Amino acid sequence: MNVAKELHEKGFSRLYLLSGNEFRKEELPPYLTAILKSDIESIEKSKDDDEDEQIGEQEEVYAVIVDDNESFLRALQFSGFGDHHTEAYLRPEEFLENVHKYPKDTRIFVDNNFICSELTGIDIAKKLHELGYDRIHILSGESYLEAPAYVTVIVKGSREFDKLIGL
């Protein structure tokens, strides 16, 4: 308290006392504001409640797109799904690290050939299938791509692809 008084006398007008001890704030001189442990705990609780509320309000993800060609990915994301909320990943490893946050019935569109990764779309589809995902689509430039039965192959430039992007 003596330090606060000296600082006030030197011209400091906003002084705060951080304390883990409870005491009556009324006992403090008017130039000193107390911030108690209980004040901090209530702020943290309020912040946690706000974060929980924001998580609950997040828009449902209609589709996830994984493609290392950023211009193609963004074009597909913004023109292919109308007003539906989509999320996009440029790196398949990053997507696989986050896949747990998507419901098992989320539409997932994965490029087959990645320059940035040794993984292929088929590799990713297999992992997704093992995790229980059932709406797996591979975007490919190859019309002859052989894929497991649980995967839908969409050839870029095909009628099915044109329907997907709204042409």
Asked if pLDDT for residue 112 goes beyond 70, the answer is yes
Domain 63-164 in CATH: superfamily?
A: Response regulator (3.40.50.2300)
Could you read off the pLDDT of 72-90 as tens digits, one per residue?
888 787 776 777 889 999 9
Question: Is the pLDDT score of 127 beyond 60?
Answer: yes
The pLDDT of residue 71 = 83
* Domain ranges (residues) in the chain: 2-53, 63-164
**Percent residues over pLDDT 90 in the chain:** 32
pLDDT of 161 above 70: yes
Q: What is the spatial distance between Cα 95 and Cα 101, in angstroms, rounded to a whole number?
A: 10
Q: What is the pLDDT of residues 4-54, one digit of tens each?
A: 777 678 776 666 666 656 666 667 777 766 666 565 555 555 545 555 554
pLDDT (0 to 100) of residue 166:
59
**Residue 78: predicted pLDDT:** 76
In this structure, are strands 107-111 and 136-140 parallel, antiparallel, or unpaired? parallel
Three-state DSSP state, 10:
coil
pLDDT confidence of residue 41 = 58
- The CB density around residue 112, as the number of other CB atoms within 10 Å, is 21
